[in-house]
Amino acid sequence: MAMFPTGRMRRLRQTANLRKMLRETMPSVDDFVFPVFVVPGKGIKKEISSMPGCFHHSVDTLTEELKEAASLGIRAAILFGLPESKDETGSGAYDEKGIIPTAVGAIKKAVPELTVITDVCLCEYTSHGHCGVVQGNTVDNDKTLELLSRAALVYAKAGADMIAPSDMMDGRVGSIRKTLDENGFSNLPIMSYAAKYASAFYGPFREAAQSAPQFGDRRSYQMDPPNWREAMREMEEDIEEGADIIMVKPALAYLDILQRARQAFSCPLAAYNVSGEYSMVKAAVKNGWLDEKQIVLEILTAIKRAGADIILTYHAKDAARWLKSSQ
């Protein structure tokens, strides 16, 4: 291309039409997965204090929320459940009459066009808040696999369209894949939280899911933030074990990991625009420091540009409205 003064890059930025015509990357509502929190009870819609605009829903109000989301063009939601009671082994996660199977059944009746994804982890269901079976002060990896696989099978039988293990136990994708295949669910896809970092960005989620560890932390099983080569190994192993989609979490502080994953792997790639990223934006907007529409769309564009095919985001409904209005 000719250099200045013959070449002038600004020529193609002069009007909105030109900018839209030449736009290289733009998130679409088709990319979004809407994370939601479901609780026992009836008629409940309670705002989560650290996540303005996000709510704890009982099953009945959740179906209304998801009807609205579907009307905006959102095609998928991922469910996080809070049980009536917790115990050492997180039995509420694999209870056939538990909160997630109940919610899945209701959503499939009320909003059949919506793809329902179920997070698979034990942290919301255990009394100690860790993502697996605790022996002493350590999470027992192999004993946890059986329980995660049981939960995945329960969700599959309830009608889930996709299973999303988020626990970061070694071998859990292979264990879940084997269980699903042996029980007639060989066509049910798995979206693995493959590179899930031990991040400070999860704080608001832990309030929302009431899942903060009661001792220690999750650094012995979630990834160390400085590492990228380890993330490549995690993702490669999950693909080999049968993951159909791999995820990087969080998204915004790990765009380099997303880009490396996009270059290394051809399978679909998801990214989770997590609670801390969401809440920081909401706090800045409340103080008048940022324009919410502009900053959210810029963040989502960055995640898409880095290589994500799927974006899990609490901004999904607002972003869907903004994208529609800008067309």
Give per-residue pLDDT as tens, 37-47: 999 999 999 99
**What integer pLDDT is reported at residue 106 of this predicted model?**
98
Average pLDDT over residues 177-202: 97
Q: Are 316 and 300 in contact (CB under 8 A)?
A: no
Asked if residue 132 has pLDDT above 90, the reply is no
Q: What percent of the chain has pLDDT over 70?
A: 99
**What integer pLDDT is reported at residue 278 of this predicted model?**
97
For the question of residue 196 being annotated catalytic, the response is: yes
Q: Are 157 and 225 in contact (CB under 8 A)?
A: no
**What integer pLDDT is reported at residue 270 of this predicted model?**
98
Give per-residue pLDDT as tens, 233-249: 999 999 999 999 999 99
Q: Are 177 and 153 in contact (CB under 8 A)?
A: no
Q: What percent of the chain has pLDDT over 90?
A: 86
Place of tokens 């960005």: 201
Q: Where are the beta strands (DSSP E) in the chain?
A: 32-38, 45-47, 55-57, 76-81, 115-120, 133-135, 138-140, 162-165, 191-196, 245-249, 269-273, 310-313
Between 1 and 136, where is the model more confident? Answer: 136
Give per-residue pLDDT as tens, 78-125: 999 999 889 988 999 999 999 999 999 999 999 999 999 999 999 889
Residues 6+ apart with CB under 8 A from 26: 301, 304
What's the mean pLDDT when you consider all of the chain? Answer: 94
**What integer pLDDT is reported at residue 217 of this predicted model?**
74
Q: Which of 42, 45, 249, 282 is catalytic?
A: 249
Which domains, ranges and CATH numbers included, belong to the chain?
25-325 (3.20.20.70)
**What integer pLDDT is reported at residue 216 of this predicted model?**
67
Rounded CA-CA distance 27/298 in Å is 9
**Could you tell me which of 147, 53, 73, 56 has the C-alpha nearest to residue 115?**
73
Q: Which of 86, 196, 282, 317 is catalytic?
A: 196
What pTM was estimated for this model as a whole? 0.95
Asked if residue 164 has pLDDT above 80, the reply is yes
What are the contacts of 214-218 at 24+ separation with CB within 8 A?
Answer: 214/127, 214/128, 214/129, 215/128, 215/137, 216/130, 216/137, 218/130, 218/131, 218/168
**What integer pLDDT is reported at residue 131 of this predicted model?**
84
226: tokens are 């400085």
Asked if residue 208 has pLDDT above 90, the reply is no
**What integer pLDDT is reported at residue 209 of this predicted model?**
72
Give per-residue pLDDT as tens, 283-315: 999 999 999 999 999 999 999 999 999 999 999
**What integer pLDDT is reported at residue 327 of this predicted model?**
63
For the question of residue 286 being annotated catalytic, the response is: no
